Amino acid sequence: MSDTIPIALPSDPPVTVELARALGLTENEYRVIEARLGRRPTYTELGVFSVMWSEHCSYKSSKLHLRQLPHSGRAVVRGPGENAGAIEIGDGWLAVFKIESHNHPSYVEPYQGAATGVGGIIRDILAMGARPIATLNSLKFGDFDYPRMTYLVRGVVGGIGGYGNCVGVPTVGGEASFSKEYNKNILVNVFCLGLARKGELMSASAKSVGSAVIYAGSATGRDGIHGASLLASAEFDSAEKSKRPSVQVGDPFMGKILIEACLEAFATGAVEACQDMGAAGLTSSSSELAARGGLGIELDLDKVPLREPALTPYEILLSESQERMLLLVCPGREGEVLSVFRKWDLPACVVGRIVAENRWRAFYRGALVADIPVNALTVDAPVYNRPVKARPVARDYSHSSTLCKSRGELEHGEVLRVLIGSPNVASKRWIYRQFDYLVQSNTLVEPGGDAAVLRIKGTQRALAIAVDSNFRLCARDPYIGAVAAVCEAALNVACVGATPVGITDCLNYGSPERPEVMWEFARSVEGIRDAALALEIPVVSGNVSFYNETDGQPIPPTPTIAVVGVLNERAHRLSSYFKRADDAVALVKGGKLRLAATAYEALLEQKRSGVSFGWVLPPIEPELVKATVDALSEAAALGIVSSAHDVSEGGIGVALVECCFNPNGVLGVEVSLDGLDELGVGEALFAEGTPLVIVSLPEANLERAAKVFTDRGLEFKTLGKVKNEPKLTVKDLIDEDCNALWEVYHRALPRRLGEHV
């Protein structure tokens, strides 16, 4: 061990408890740092600890809870703990995927915040040795009449499209919701899927003493400093404009070159490990690579490419400049890798070495400026079991068949039109039409359906991906809401005929220092655990985003769930829309219908100025969802079902409308809801449920299909028929022109944004 004590620079401020607090550390954490080092840290070292012990990097408030999630499975190749999860999907291929948040930066600077969110998650997939082939996004915005909201919507959508379209990775779908609870804290969660050959997966773990540490990509600047510790790990207040310098700036063209250069470098066999320089930049990537391998690392900061010559060690180590990767290369093979990056005209250089001693050291102008035990920054970072405080949750189920008659504010057709024209239900075409979803030529099912489907070239297989969240359910009951999010994402994948194989989650909450928030978080994790176990889908990667609150107002608990599914025969994929006239229309149902926490309830409460109707939630039975998922996959493989569409936001009526929107020409449907006896027929029209799926199929297949579903304990109720005439007819309730409904559905979002369509 070196006897040299790191030096402080003349320009460094004095290290005090007050300075530690300003950097996001507590007084107790500062005292622990002094004890670990056996001395007072330098300013550079204090900055390093502040980012590595931040909530964003250390997961210090969530680790204890996340350990209960099911991570293993027969097909799992890589679970949580590295850059992304990986699942074996057949024909020698691995699906590599993860979802992450970029919430705070996107509120401060929406275009760059969203753009760098896309770039960051793409590089996480790239660091695994996989080629990124698709992204999804889950967006939560506030009310349109809230100041800046239109600016935020346009900026975020523009940033996702601006980066994704230029980097050459298709944005194939997602979801977007609007609610006043997100007025001051929007959420931008981005998922990425990649493909890697079995046996060619990269790790993020140092393997050999003497391995070269190669920095590749853009030069380092001052953007993003303390983005992990002070922007992503603290709540907002009225001074958020001062945080603008913490938002990174993306360069998608550099990002595209970096993808190709890294994949070519990996193919040489000289690269032992790789990590994206994301949150906490060079500090986190270097320390995590060393710690995972039980080794140490030494960095020469004079070798780091800089955009500005006057950067200090503190700034170099904490910068979160984009489009940068850190590679560990076998001793003696540095030249092979550097020549690849030279070919792509991409900056790359050796900036350090892996050492046997378990230390993280940084040198600047020949002097030691940081010397810290590697584990002190990583595995030995603080872990907190924070207090929880439950709030009351009603779980009994009640209903009344006379509710619709007693209210009578709106007739059913008008309710339907209002619902399909509301931002949460209406088409998100205005959003996804700004994305290139066809680049790479793998996209088989485009945005707008239940799940995107992507071919795996050279095989008959395809991958289905979907992302879901349900803020209304989670606000009412975080456990049921989390169960529902997992189940709905799995159902969406199954509705295109795929079998779900893996989950990644992005968990968005307020401050973990609030016992009520920690209770919401803990209950959500329990819900994800129970649903994942019942559905037999492992959780292989994820992200936690705390401190989503402003001026003491937290967002609703918002767990976002992405599910990846496999279609063994891509020709068996299903659409979400009706295919042909005279097909029978049926409802697959498990469990109970609900009106609580639905778009219908929100509409009625708005009409009644916030007066609640007292509806409470029925339980969700994941076992019935598992049965539905298996039945849909079997029905698709047998070719007996033409389409399948999950009933979600807006209920059965909205789902029927959406099924009529065949892109080759709007169809119609004539149905009866008689026999749905739990609710009045009028209420059932707008009821939601999990599982609840509308399917269409040739009448000749009804008996076989019914057996597939009922043998698994599900209800299979024939509702009516698809019609050529574009009219939605629900017996005794609805008689609407589907072309007119199409106009309402597709023009609602542009109209609110002031677009002329």
For the annotated catalytic residues, the residue numbers are 56, 102
Q: Which two tokens stand for residue 89?
A: 């999907």
CA distance 12 to 44: 8
Q: Which residues, at least 6 apart from 732, have a Cβ–Cβ distance to it below 8 Å?
A: 681
* CA proximity to 574, closest of 588, 591, 592: 588
Query: How big is the chain, counted in residues?
Result: 757
Print burial letters for 483-518: b (CB count within 10 Å at least 16), e (below 16). Answer: bbbbbbbbbbbbbbbbbbbbbbbbbbbbbbebebbb
CA distance 487 to 491: 6
Strand pairing category for 359-364 and 296-300: parallel
Contact 168, 440 (CB under 8 A): yes
CA distance 326 to 303: 13
Q: Which two tokens stand for residue 597?
A: 């926490």
Print burial letters for 368-381: b (CB count within 10 Å at least 16), e (below 16). Answer: bbbbbbbbbbbeeb
Strand pairing category for 643-646 and 692-697: antiparallel
CA distance 354 to 38: 24
CA distance 642 to 721: 13
Q: Tell me how far CA of residue 457 lies from CA of 15, 443, 506, in angstroms.
A: 56, 11, 29
Contact 81, 67 (CB under 8 A): no
DSSP 578: -
